[in-house]
Structure formats: C-alpha cells, structure tokens
Amino acid sequence: MTYINTSSTLINSLGSLTKNMYTVDTVESMMASLQLEMASLFGFSVTWLYAFKDNCKKTSQLISVVGKNHKEIQSKYPTIDITNDKMMEKIFNSDFPVYVADARTDPITDKEIVNTLDYRTVINCQLFLHGESMGFIGAGAFATEGVQEMSIDEITYFSALSNIVSITLDRISYREKSLRDPLTNLNNKRGLAVNAETLLALAERNNHSIAVIFIDLDNFKPINDKFGHDLGDKALIYFSQCLKNILRRTDIIARVGGDEFVLLLTDINDEEYIHKLIVQINLECTQLKVIKNNLAITFSAGFAVFPQDGTTLDQLISLADKRMYQIKTTSKNVYS
C-alpha cells in the first residue's frame, strides 16, 4: 500500500502531535501516540527511541520501542555500537533525517540487523536537547509491508517531529525529576502523592487493599555525626536500593524525610504479608556494606491498610506514623 501525504496533512499531523504531547507524562505514552501516527501516515509498523548510553557518544541504548517485533528488538538490539555502524554515523553527522527506502540494498545499513529483523524501509532523525545531541527517533516497515516510498516533504516532516519529541522528553524528564528524591532516586513526597492517587483509585474500583508502611531509621543522626554525611548518604542509598530489590515492581517506595520512608504495597490480601515483608527488610537491609566494617542500623515501622484504616493517603500515613512512633518510644527495631 502506498501512502501519499499532502503538505496540509503533514502540517495538521504535527499540530495534532504537538497538542497531544502536552498531555503525555511518560515515554511509553509518548511512543504509543507516535506509533499510531507513524502507522496512519506512512504505514510504519514500529517506532523506536535510542539515547546515548552513560553520556558516551559511542553506544546508543534503546529507551523504548513500540509496534511489531518490539520484543525481538528489545532482546537483540538493546544497544548499538555507533562507531561500527555506517547508518549511525550518518544519523549523527546530519541534522536532516536519514531515509533508507530499501534496507536490503542500501550500502549504509547493517545487513545483520536488517536480515535479523527483516527491515525494509527505515527513517531516523537525530534528537537535540539544549543544543546537544541526545540520541535519535526512528520508524520503519518490515518485509510484509514492502518498500515505503517517501517524498521530500514526508522526510522533512521527521525533522519537525524530532523537535517535538525532544521538547516532550525534556518536559517528561523535568517532571520525573520533580517527583524524585535526588539522593536515592526514590519517589519524594510529591511523587508519592501522585502515584498514590492512582493506586488508591484503582484499589477502590477493584475492591483491593493497599498497605502503607512508615519506616524511620533509628538514631541515624549519630551515624552522620560519627562517620560524616558522606557515609550517611551512602547508607541511605544502600538502604533504598535494598528496598527496591525486595519490593515488587507494582509497589511504591518514597523517601519522605531525612531518614523516613513510606512504602505502598498494592493488592494486599492479609496482614501476614506485611509482617513478613518488614521482617525481610530487617534481615536484608540493616547491615550496611559501605565501609570496611559493616555498619548495623535499626528501624521502627508502623503500617495502616486501605480502606479499613483510612481512605486517603494522609489518613493512612498519619496512622502508620503514629503506630511507628508508639513502637519507637518503647523499643527499637520492631514494628506494629
């Protein structure tokens, strides 16, 4: 099937995408919208986004891919060596989109990638943010779609598209940073509130329970005083990473104070799971391996359960905090 787009169609598409991009708040939702547009305008069945790995301009890392064969792309090409790829070299040496009508015969394509994924037509465009190259956005068709011929106007469309994507990524990144604790990369108070709003609404709709655990590290100030804030920061990072390793991907972890953490556990069937989890945290996260001699810490924890203990995040945190404090004033390293 041949896709022929007039200038007005392309301009309307860019206008629609610009408006739509202001409503997306994740890379995944951005990519889903882009793929719908790529399929509608050009018949492309997959859209990908790559960025420089570790700020090194020698390797591009897959950030997101949406559409046909996306799992195969994720598994086989999570990174691409830019230095040994003629197409990558051309993309990053050009401000204009790099269009390849037939990847099977074009001299700049990596034939191993082409044959493995069965690509036919591909187009990629470099992304710039604040004047710096950050990666590229691309789309393509496979053998079953055949060669997709593109006009100059259609190719130029991708230059404008790359600007829209760059601005959207900058906005998403800024939003995500505003929801994150810079030291531990956990949710901060605002991030906790944003995520909790969604989780509580879903729990109410599906008649599920959610547990809120309030954790306070015991006597953390003396650690900073004795060993210095650098070690204290490392201890917080270690504890945070340990929490990430233990909790499920559907759970939420937030650092809400200097040594205070809030956990949101989704779809809780009984309190026994909560008790077991706190015991596991105590066993696995209290021996800090950040200095030559392990540093042992203790914590106090209290919890509350939605909806029986409260229906808002503030109510649940307040009760969990109160229960934690009651325990903390009697003895350390226990929970309620």
Are 124 and 136 within 8 A, CB to CB?
yes
Question: How much is the pLDDT for 8?
Answer: 94
Query: Which residue ranges of the chain lie beneath pLDDT 70?
Result: 1-3, 54-56, 225-227, 289-294, 331-336
Neighbour count for residue 19 (Cβ, 10 Å): 9
Estimate the crossing angle of helix 229-246 against helix 271-284, to 10 degrees: 140
φ, ψ of residue 182 to 5 degrees: the values are -65, -25
What residues contact residue 330 under an 8 Å CB cut-off, 6+ apart?
Answer: none
> Where would I find the H helices in 105-228?
111-117, 152-178, 189-206, 220-227
**Most distant CA atoms of the chain, gap in Å:** 75
**pTM of the prediction?**
0.70
Are 301 and 211 within 8 A, CB to CB?
no
Are 68 and 143 within 8 A, CB to CB?
no
Q: Give, for 20, the enclosing helix (H) or strand (E).
A: helix 7-21
- Residue carrying structure tokens 């210095």: 228
Give the three-state DSSP class for 129.
strand
- Residue carrying structure tokens 């042992």: 296
Are 260 and 192 within 8 A, CB to CB?
no
Question: How much is the pLDDT for 39?
Answer: 95
Query: How far is residue 320's CA from residue 203's CA, in Å, rounded to a whole number?
Result: 19
As a whole number of Å, the CA-based R_g of the chain is: 25
What distances in angstroms separate CA 61 from CA 112, 114, 157, 229, one per listed residue? Answer: 18, 18, 24, 34
Neighbour count for residue 273 (Cβ, 10 Å): 13
Q: Give, for 72, the enclosing helix (H) or strand (E).
A: helix 70-76
- Residue carrying structure tokens 């590290």: 217
Query: How far is residue 301's CA from residue 281's CA, in Å, rounded to a whole number?
Result: 10
Query: How far is residue 164's CA from residue 175's CA, in Å, rounded to a whole number?
Result: 17
Are 217 and 259 within 8 A, CB to CB?
yes
Question: How much is the pLDDT for 289?
Answer: 67
The total number of residues written for the chain in this structure = 336
Question: How much is the pLDDT for 294?
Answer: 67
Neighbour count for residue 36 (Cβ, 10 Å): 15
